Chains A and B, each alone.
Chain A
Amino acid sequence: MKKLAAVLGAMMLAGCVGPNPYVTPVEDRSNRQVTTPPPPGSVESVEPSPGVSVQPIEDVPVFRPQRETLPESGSINVAPTEMPASEPRNAAVVALLDTANRNTQGGDLRAAQNSLERALRIAPRDPQVYYQLADVQRRLGQFMQAEQVALKGVNVANGQPTELRRLWSLIALIRSDAGNGAGARAAQQEASRY
């Protein structure tokens, strides 16, 4: 209901303006003023801005016929591709992660790093590999790299809440180790979303 009310309000406001064809294009044009003047000495326009003209969105509704049959997701020319359900972790990767864990516990961080890089080549889409690698780099004091590797982990962990929570917590830890308190809190907040 709230949404509807808001919508109705917006409609009424729009109604006040009338059928202005130059209203609400999707994209943000605010930067246009900034970018139009060409960099000094490079470009001078001989026409009025050759940039994109925004299509007026008119009140006239656009009609389209309906499809006889619905396109299946698979037959769409360009499909939004989702990862296939994550496969069980390969025994080789398990072995490497274990070795890395042992090395980390034993303080041999270089060896751990080596094992994890081997694991990364075999399973570059496994968030756990990034998690452990980032943690090793954190212990090595390479906070910048540690955070970036963890962020890459977040990227590959799309749609896996448990992994995302762990990775964001790790990022919080990395940031606080690096003395970035505000960043750590932000990351912790991010972690609590999952």
Chain B
Amino acid sequence: MSKKRNNRKNSRSRKTSRSWFRALLGPLLKLSLVLAVIAAVGLIYLDAQVREKFEGKRWALPAKVYARPLELYPGQQLSAEDFRLELKGLGYRSVSSVSRPGSAHWNGGRVQLVTRGFPFPDGAEPSRNMTLEFGGQGLQRILDDRGRSLSLVRMEPVLIGGIYPQDNEDRDLIRLEDAPAMLPTALVAVEDRDYYSHHGISLKGIARAMMVNIRAGRFVQGGSTLTQQLIKNFYLTDERTLARKLLEMPMAVLLDLHYSKDEILEAYLNEVYLGQSGARAIHGFGMGSQYYFGRPVGELSLSQVALLAGLVKGPSYYDPRRHPERALNRRNLVLRLLHEQDKISDAEYEEAVAEPLGVVEQRSLQKGAYPAYLDLVRRQLREEYREEDLSSEGLRVFTALDPQVQSRAERAQSTTLEQLEKRYGQSAKGLEASMVVTDPQTGEILAVIGGRDSRYEGFNRALDALRPIGSLVKPAIYLTALERGYTLATPLEDEAFKLKLPNGDVWSPDNFDNKSHGRVPLHYSLSHSYNQSTARLGLDIGVDKVIDMLERLGVERELKPYPSLLLGAQALSPLEVAGVYQTLAANGFRMPLRAIRSVTDAQGQELSRYPFALRQEVDPALVHLIQYAMQEVAREGTARYVYSQLPPNLNIAGKTGTSNDQRDSWFAGFTGNRLAVVWVGRDDNAKLPFTGSGGALRIWTDYMRREHPEPFYATRPEKVEYVWVDDATGLLSDQRCEGSRQLPFIRGTEPKDSVDCGQLRRSGNPLDWFRSWFQ
């Protein structure tokens, strides 16, 4: 009974608890079901997110812009010193014995090196172990590692810049196997010791971090795994919110669930933020290695790897350029951890700790060193590509930029400007200058300087400064005259005149020396840059004809037919001037100036190319005559200065230019393989204390002195004949007569009547004498 009662009692109490439980169970079950469903949906959603982003295109890849690859071949005019500079630009290590790509060993005029190889659009250039021998004539021999001689090798091109996406993230993707094995090891050792054993999050890590933090009394260590760090940077925003923190963990677990440790680590290597260069954010170890050490990540030494791994914690706090002390401590801490965890030997540790930081100067980096050239490249690309493709598709852009030419031009410009300032004092303060260098044979643009500070990414004077070209216009006028029947010996009148303009103004050009020179032969008027004779000549043949010639030579801008155009009132940019002189240098063949050779996609598939193209615009025979007169400019005219500095066999052809009131100083000229246009002036357009020959010509000459260019050879076209003429009268003369010079003429246009210095009376036969008149 009691038992029963008890039982009943028990059953009652059980009943009450059960009913309480039951009462709760229903809603609880429902709630947890709902929660589970929500969680599941959330997880599925998160999972989809995690997978979608990880498997899709992970990063916006900036277009990579490359300089020209250096071609190496026996007989090439390349000095050992030039090659040393090229290797420096490519970040080669100088070592005592070469083994790995990117290392070189110098021994006098010989260098042994292992190149890196490069996947060019027209075929891959393999990595080679080779020896180069330099001599007085340049590169003598190239031998491979078996002693066989090679006829042609292409070095890898220097990466000179990129076109960045909105967020300015710059990265260079690497694969895990590209990285030195020690890099992941070091990262794991310093950032996440249990990486290979945890499942995305590490309770051990969190506990350890908490212990450390409690002991230190402040926050010194986070418990984030590498996986969580990747999630944080890759998927989530920068905000430090609880929601973000809550999402981080499940996402890390999901990521770990779906992908291998190596895949996740590879993504981490490419995602991590490693520094800041102006607006450009350096992401990933591929770019980080280039940014700090100027070489690919695969070539880094142990100590360099340790530094990069250490930087992850705080790229600006440990910035090795700004805080070398902190960086060194951090690097050594990483090395110590590696040593403690038996990842490196005692000897390796000792050696690595003893090494300096080895970070290259930011200034010596090729990337960012060519803002004016890149500006030109970008403008040309925008004509064909969408901005977002340029900044996200990882396009490769191969340009014609020659870093060595650019560096010589920059040095010439900066040293000469300093000299000018020293010489002219206050009146030469605030000078600006710009320069364009091309290869007159191919029309490729080799160098562009946009202003005095050649690293400044601002106003690009080479492209955008429109300045009156002064006497640079004259070769076009004289060429027009030659085409219309004048000869180099035609006498011109250098006399003052007045011309009433439609607006009522009277135009009366003056010569630079304020004198008129009377009757002068056409070639002389050009080489001495006389204004009055030129203006008369130009008016006589017609301003419209001159404009037509300028357009044929390459000017695309609309030109106004004012008589002042004849004295160079028309404003052009240095690049436009280079286009005109290019046609003159290329014997009348006009070719578009090219900065870009080709563009490929990230896989190396060619998207567009810019082939060698040209069109004959002026008869080469006529251009030959104008080239003669332009050589005279350098031999005995306004650009005589060049031969005080340069070898006489260069046969330089060019023209000085000074705009009205001496506001612009120009020189445009060429040798056999280099054409350079230099402008010097001021942004506020103030007067200069020198002319074209006093300013721009000095820079041009200094550049050519550094360049050691090939001489200009003007081969005589069949239609052209050289005859001796009398300077003063333009009559036929003879080598034996005083005052004679040899001038080229289009066959049949040479003068018929001759001066007499007795050269005709060789024999006693009067008929011979008579006949010789007409030979």
Contact A26 B487 (CB under 8 A): yes
Question: Is B250 positioned at the interface, with any CB of A under 8 Å from its CB?
Answer: no
Question: Is B498 positioned at the interface, with any CB of A under 8 Å from its CB?
Answer: yes
Residue of B nearest to A42 (CB): B561
Contact A52 B613 (CB under 8 A): no
Contact A26 B749 (CB under 8 A): yes
Please give the distance in Å from B637's CB to the nearest CB on chain A: 10
Mask: chain A, 78-119; 1 = CB below 8 Å from B; 0 = not:
111111100000111011100000000000001101110110
Contact A26 to B489, CB < 8 A, known contacts A32-B540, A42-B502, A44-B502: yes
Total count of chain A residues near the partner, CB < 8 A: 77
Give bound CA distance, A158 to B759, whole Å: 32
Contact A50 to B713, CB < 8 A, known contacts A64-B739, A78-B635, A121-B439: no
Contact B715 A43 (CB under 8 A): no
Give bound CA distance, A26 to B723, whole Å: 14
Contact A78 B489 (CB under 8 A): no
Question: Is A15 positioned at the interface, with any CB of B under 8 Å from its CB?
Answer: no
Question: Is A149 positioned at the interface, with any CB of B under 8 Å from its CB?
Answer: yes
Give bound CA distance, A114 to B586, whole Å: 21
Question: Is A124 positioned at the interface, with any CB of B under 8 Å from its CB?
Answer: yes
Contact A43 B499 (CB under 8 A): yes
Question: Is A152 positioned at the interface, with any CB of B under 8 Å from its CB?
Answer: yes
Contact B755 A81 (CB under 8 A): no
Give bound CA distance, A51 to B538, whole Å: 8
Please give the distance in Å from B773's CB to the nearest CB on chain A: 8
Give bound CA distance, A128 to B759, whole Å: 44
Contact A66 B756 (CB under 8 A): no
Give bound CA distance, A52 to B584, whole Å: 25
Please give the distance in Å from B734's CB to the nearest CB on chain A: 9
Please give the distance in Å from B717's CB to the nearest CB on chain A: 6
Question: Is B589 positioned at the interface, with any CB of A under 8 Å from its CB?
Answer: yes
Give bound CA distance, A63 to B711, whole Å: 38
Give bound CA distance, A65 to B739, whole Å: 9
Task: Kindly list chain B residues whose C-beta atoms are within 8 Å of the C-beta of A151.
Answer: 589, 616
Contact A55 B715 (CB under 8 A): no
Task: Kindly list chain A residues whose C-beta atoms are within 8 Å of the C-beta of B736.
Answer: 66-67, 70
Contact A152 to B614, CB < 8 A, known contacts A46-B498, A64-B726: yes
B window 710-724: CB within 8 A of A: 711-718, 722
Residue of A nearest to B717 (CB): A158
Q: Select which of A46, A62, A152 is within 8 A of B729 by beta carbon.
A: A62
Contact A50 to B756, CB < 8 A, known contacts A94-B151, A121-B442: no
Task: Kindly list chain B residues whose C-beta atoms are within 8 Å of the C-beta of A162.
Answer: none
Please give the distance in Å from B709's CB to the nearest CB on chain A: 13
Contact A55 B491 (CB under 8 A): yes
Task: Kindly list chain A residues whose C-beta atoms are within 8 Å of the C-beta of B535.
Answer: 50
Contact A50 B536 (CB under 8 A): yes
Contact A55 to B713, CB < 8 A, known contacts A27-B490, A122-B73: no
Give bound CA distance, A46 to B123, whole Å: 67
Task: Kindly list chain B residues whose C-beta atoms are within 8 Å of the C-beta of A111.
Answer: 122-123
Contact B730 A55 (CB under 8 A): yes
Contact A50 to B497, CB < 8 A, known contacts A64-B756, A78-B635: yes
Please give the distance in Å from B552's CB to the nearest CB on chain A: 14
Contact B612 A78 (CB under 8 A): no
Contact A66 to B757, CB < 8 A, known contacts A27-B486, A39-B543: yes
Give bound CA distance, A31 to B481, whole Å: 11
Question: Is B587 positioned at the interface, with any CB of A under 8 Å from its CB?
Answer: yes
Total count of chain B residues near the partner, CB < 8 A: 98
Question: Is B75 positioned at the interface, with any CB of A under 8 Å from its CB?
Answer: yes
Residue of B nearest to A27 (CB): B485
Question: Is B545 positioned at the interface, with any CB of A under 8 Å from its CB?
Answer: yes
Contact B755 A62 (CB under 8 A): yes
Contact A4 to B771, CB < 8 A, known contacts A32-B540, A55-B491, A149-B614: yes
Give bound CA distance, A122 to B774, whole Å: 45
A window 46-81: CB within 8 A of B: 46-47, 49-55, 57, 61-67, 70-71, 76-81
Contact B561 A78 (CB under 8 A): no
Contact A92 B543 (CB under 8 A): no
Contact A70 to B735, CB < 8 A, known contacts A76-B741, A78-B628: yes
Give bound CA distance, A4 to B765, whole Å: 15
Give bound CA distance, A31 to B483, whole Å: 11
Question: Is B563 positioned at the interface, with any CB of A under 8 Å from its CB?
Answer: yes
B window 26-82: CB within 8 A of A: 71, 73-76
Q: Select which of B444, B540, B589 is within 8 A of A148 by beta carbon.
A: B589
Please give the distance in Å from A149's CB to the nearest CB on chain B: 7
Contact A52 B615 (CB under 8 A): no
Task: Kindly list chain A residues whose C-beta atoms are within 8 Å of the C-beta of B601.
Answer: none
Q: Select which of B500, B587, B756, B771 is within 8 A of A62 by beta carbon.
A: B756
Task: Kindly list chain B residues whose C-beta atoms are within 8 Å of the C-beta of A180.
Answer: none
Please give the distance in Å from B479's CB to the nearest CB on chain A: 15
Please give the distance in Å from A104's CB to the nearest CB on chain B: 14
Contact A124 B441 (CB under 8 A): yes
Contact B484 A31 (CB under 8 A): yes
Contact A43 B485 (CB under 8 A): no
Contact A62 B726 (CB under 8 A): yes
Please give the distance in Å from B35's CB to the nearest CB on chain A: 63
Task: Kindly list chain B residues whose C-beta atoms are within 8 Å of the C-beta of A125.
Answer: 441, 713
Give bound CA distance, A145 to B539, whole Å: 36
Contact A53 B756 (CB under 8 A): no
Contact B589 A90 (CB under 8 A): no
Contact A50 B540 (CB under 8 A): yes
Contact A35 B614 (CB under 8 A): no
Please give the distance in Å from A147's CB to the nearest CB on chain B: 9
Question: Is A29 positioned at the interface, with any CB of B under 8 Å from its CB?
Answer: yes
Question: Is B758 positioned at the interface, with any CB of A under 8 Å from its CB?
Answer: yes
Task: Kindly list chain B residues whose C-beta atoms are within 8 Å of the C-beta of A43.
Answer: 499, 501-502, 539, 543, 563
Question: Is B391 positioned at the interface, with any CB of A under 8 Å from its CB?
Answer: no
Question: Is B393 positioned at the interface, with any CB of A under 8 Å from its CB?
Answer: no
Contact A159 B715 (CB under 8 A): yes
Contact A66 B758 (CB under 8 A): yes
Question: Is B620 positioned at the interface, with any CB of A under 8 Å from its CB?
Answer: yes
Question: Is B542 positioned at the interface, with any CB of A under 8 Å from its CB?
Answer: yes
Contact B631 A78 (CB under 8 A): yes
Contact A77 to B561, CB < 8 A, known contacts A29-B485, A67-B738, A70-B736: no
Residue of B nearest to A31 (CB): B484
Please give the distance in Å from B54's CB to the nearest CB on chain A: 37
Question: Is B686 positioned at the interface, with any CB of A under 8 Å from its CB?
Answer: no
Contact A96 B152 (CB under 8 A): yes
Question: Is B737 positioned at the interface, with any CB of A under 8 Å from its CB?
Answer: yes
Contact A92 to B542, CB < 8 A, known contacts A66-B737, A121-B71: no
Residue of A nearest to B440 (CB): A124
Give bound CA distance, A186 to B404, whole Å: 46
Please give the distance in Å from A153's CB to the nearest CB on chain B: 11
Contact B651 A81 (CB under 8 A): yes
Please give the distance in Å from B271's CB to the nearest CB on chain A: 36
Q: Select which of A46, A63, A70, A91 is within 8 A of B73 by beta carbon.
A: A91
Contact B737 A64 (CB under 8 A): yes
Question: Is B129 positioned at the interface, with any CB of A under 8 Å from its CB?
Answer: no
Question: Is A120 positioned at the interface, with any CB of B under 8 Å from its CB?
Answer: yes
Please give the distance in Å from A22's CB to the nearest CB on chain B: 14
Task: Kindly list chain A residues whose C-beta atoms are within 8 Å of the C-beta of B499.
Answer: 43-47, 50
Question: Is A3 positioned at the interface, with any CB of B under 8 Å from its CB?
Answer: yes
Q: Select which of A27, A65, A79, A84 is within 8 A of B487 by beta carbon.
A: A27
Contact A92 to B151, CB < 8 A, known contacts A50-B539, A78-B741: yes
Give bound CA distance, A52 to B520, whole Å: 11
Question: Is B204 positioned at the interface, with any CB of A under 8 Å from its CB?
Answer: no
Supply 13 further A-B pairs (C-beta < 8 A) apart from A4-B771, A114-B122: A26-B751, A38-B539, A39-B561, A45-B500, A49-B540, A52-B493, A62-B756, A67-B735, A77-B632, A78-B631, A80-B742, A148-B589, A155-B717
Q: 10 tightest CB-CB pairs across the interface, nearest first?
A: A51-B540, A124-B441, A92-B73, A28-B485, A114-B122, A35-B542, A91-B151, A92-B152, A158-B715, A64-B757
Some 16 contacts from A to B, beta carbons below 8 A apart, are A26-B752, A27-B486, A28-B485, A38-B543, A46-B499, A61-B756, A63-B756, A64-B739, A66-B736, A66-B738, A66-B759, A94-B151, A96-B152, A121-B441, A133-B612, A155-B620
